[in-house]
Structure 1
Amino acid sequence: MKWQKVWAFNKYWVMSKSQKQYDYIRLLAKNNQWTPQKSQELKNIIDSLKSVSPTKKTLTTTYQHIWGYFKRIATDEELHQYLNLLDELQPDNDNLGPFLAQLTNKYQIDYLKKSRIIIELNT
């Protein structure tokens, strides 16, 4: 289904901007019952978030979710670096996002490699 690909691509990017909109989209997608109306609503939400800046809270939540892909495979050094960068995280000085993008490439996490937030962090 096309909407599932759109959602998979944007999921963490949306979360980084608005937990409220993220939760709302999850409700829309519940039971996989999708309609053209819901597709338009998803597009509208994504478009509306383009001008929204992440907050420390939304970035922290998002990066903790992304870290979940690495927690069992990362080295102790990577864990230490993650925790330090998480502690220092500020939306206007984000070193954690690029670090997670590096780990995505290092460990070849396909789902994350196709994620908008990681793609944007790599550019």
Structure 2
Amino acid sequence: MNWQKVWAFNKYWVMSKSQKQYDYIRCLAKNNQWTPHKSQELRNIIDLLESVSPTRKTLTTTYQHIWGYFKKKCNNEELHRYLRLLDGLQPDDDNLGPFLAQLTKKYQIDYLEKSRIIIELNKREN
């Protein structure tokens, strides 16, 4: 699998665990100049993050980015629910992620449907 597909799949999942690693990978990918060494670095970072738990801050940032796909599509009820869930977001009691996964399905956001974070949120709900 090429690095762009790996990155697209893992992008928000990485962000949910470490803004620092997310920013580092973005630097690696700068100018689309990719090497086998960079591919291995990407894989190493992803492997390292498997054991990292999201924080309220990293989840908030990630979910705000994901929300950007819905903010012009959603209705007022969905907006208010998003804001309420964001305000009460706790990593160990995350109701916002599943809500965003529901919106992803409802609005058929292809990019998000194929992203690791949404796939994992959907698995948790089933």
TM-score by length of 1: 0.99
What are the equivalent positions in structure 2 for 1:83-98 lying under 5 Å apart?
Answer: 83-98=83-98
Q: Which residue of 2 aligns with 1:27?
A: 27
1: distance between equivalents of 2:51 and 2:38? 21
Q: Which residue of 2 aligns with 1:54?
A: 54
Q: How big is the shift at 1:30?
A: 0.0
Q: Which residue of 2 aligns with 1:71?
A: 71
Q: Which residue of 2 aligns with 1:108?
A: 108
1:24-60 residue CA offsets vs partner (Å, 9 max, x unmatched): 0000000000000000000000000000000000000
2: distance between equivalents of 1:30 and 1:66? 22
CA RMSD, 1 decimal: 0.7
Q: How big is the shift at 1:76?
A: 0.4
Q: Which residue of 2 aligns with 1:81?
A: 81
Q: How big is the shift at 1:115?
A: 0.3
1:48-105 residue CA offsets vs partner (Å, 9 max, x unmatched): 0000000000000000000000000000000000000000000000000000000000
2: distance between equivalents of 1:17 and 1:110? 22
| SS of aligned partner of 1:122 | helix
Identity between Structure 1 and Structure 2 (%): 85
2: distance between equivalents of 1:75 and 1:40? 43
Letter in 2 for 1:73: K
Gaps of 5+ in 2: none
2: distance between equivalents of 1:119 and 1:2? 20
Report the count of equivalent residues: 123
1: distance between equivalents of 2:122 and 2:34? 31
Q: Which residue of 2 aligns with 1:121?
A: 121
